[in-house]
Amino acid sequence: MPVENEQSVIPASDPFALFDAWFAEAKQSEPNDPNAMALATATPEGAPSVRMVLLKGHGPGGFVFYTNALSRKGGEIHANMQAALLFHWKSLRRQIRIEGPLTQVTDAEADAYFHSRGRSSQIASAASDQSRPLPHRADYFERVATLEERYPEGTEIPRPQEWTGFRLTPLAIEFWIDRPARMHDRRRFTRSGEGEAWSDTLLFP
Ligand SMILES: Cc1cc2nc3c(=O)[nH]c(=O)nc-3n(C[C@H](O)[C@H](O)[C@H](O)COP(=O)(O)O)c2cc1C
């Protein structure tokens, strides 16, 4: 076994700084959406569900994504304000798992992000009853056309109240990196609450 494989290549440093470093590399190497992450939620009965969303802000305060609060995920979040996030950057053969409680972003934050998007994205999301049955795809296009007429270029498209964001405050962040012979390298950081010190340990792969 080569000597370099005997030591972890994941430093026991600040996990937010480590996230930043890996994310910066992913932005260079991923063909698209390096900020795409799987978001796992669960019903109060413990039935899980998972889907992709985009990371739209992050830092020591947490990891932020935007969505429709009346969607399937929104209902699960409303009933159980906890979630897990997963990044898998295939080109780097790396994975990051993040777990913790959720809080809704402020209206001001949601407004600012909503209005930073292109007009067509704002209209597409305002016209969507996300996750509810759609009898015909043409019905959605009709709604989009109605909103385009109601809000011509130069007017502000109001953010629907249910279109909002959530911030996951991590209590656990785990880094995984592919190593030769499937002797992969994992380091898990945990803390008991926001602002508390992180502990870390290597894990068997
Ligand atoms: C790469 C990718 C990024 C996505 N980003 C978002 C997002 O940021 N917000 C969102 O609501 N849905 C996003 N979606 C769509 C979701 O995966 C999902 O279809 C939708 O949110 C409905 O999920 P739900 O029925 O579990 O609520 C994305 C899908 C993909 C494949």
Domain 3-203 belongs to what topology? Pnp Oxidase; Chain A (2.30.110)
User: Per the structure block, which two tokens stand in for 45?
Assistant: 């009965």
Pick from 52, 86, 162 the residue to mutate for probing ligand 1's pocket: most ligand atoms within 8 Å of its CB: 52
For residue 72, the ligand 1 atom closest to its alpha carbon is 27
Per-residue pLDDT of the chain (205 residues; tens, 9 = 90+): 555 668 999 999 999 999 999 999 999 999 999 999 999 999 999 999 999 999 999 999 999 999 999 999 999 999 999 999 999 999 999 999 999 999 999 999 999 999 999 999 999 999 999 999 999 999 999 999 999 999 999 999 999 999 999 999 999 999 999 999 999 999 999 999 999 999 999 999 9
For residue 74, the ligand 1 atom closest to its alpha carbon is 27
- Find out whether 117 is annotated in a ligand binding site: yes
Domain regions of the chain by residue span:
3-203
Q: How far is the CA of 130 from the centre of ligand 1 (A)?
A: 9
